[in-house]
């Protein structure tokens, strides 16, 4: 009762956007502060 799943490694979306010269525009468009929010479970009220 085990299963092996082969994983493929590919360039990250960030690396692809950088290679295409699109990363800077992407980050401007998509508010880079959002990158820091992923793990925050509960920002205190009033946190910018």
In three-state secondary structure terms, 36 is helix
User: Would you tell me which residues interact with other proteins (CB under 8 A)?
Assistant: 1-19, 22-24, 26-27, 29-32, 34-44, 47
Torsion of CA 29, 21, 19, 37, to 10 degrees: -20
d(CA 41, CA 29): 24
CB of 43 to other proteins, least distance (A): 6
């Amino acid at each position: 009762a085990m299963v092996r799943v082969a994983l493929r490694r590919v360039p990250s979306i960030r690396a692809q956007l950088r290679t295409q010269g699109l990363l800077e525009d992407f980050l401007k468009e998509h508010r880079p502060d959002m990158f820091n929010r992923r793990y925050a479970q509960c920002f205190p009220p009033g946190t910018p």
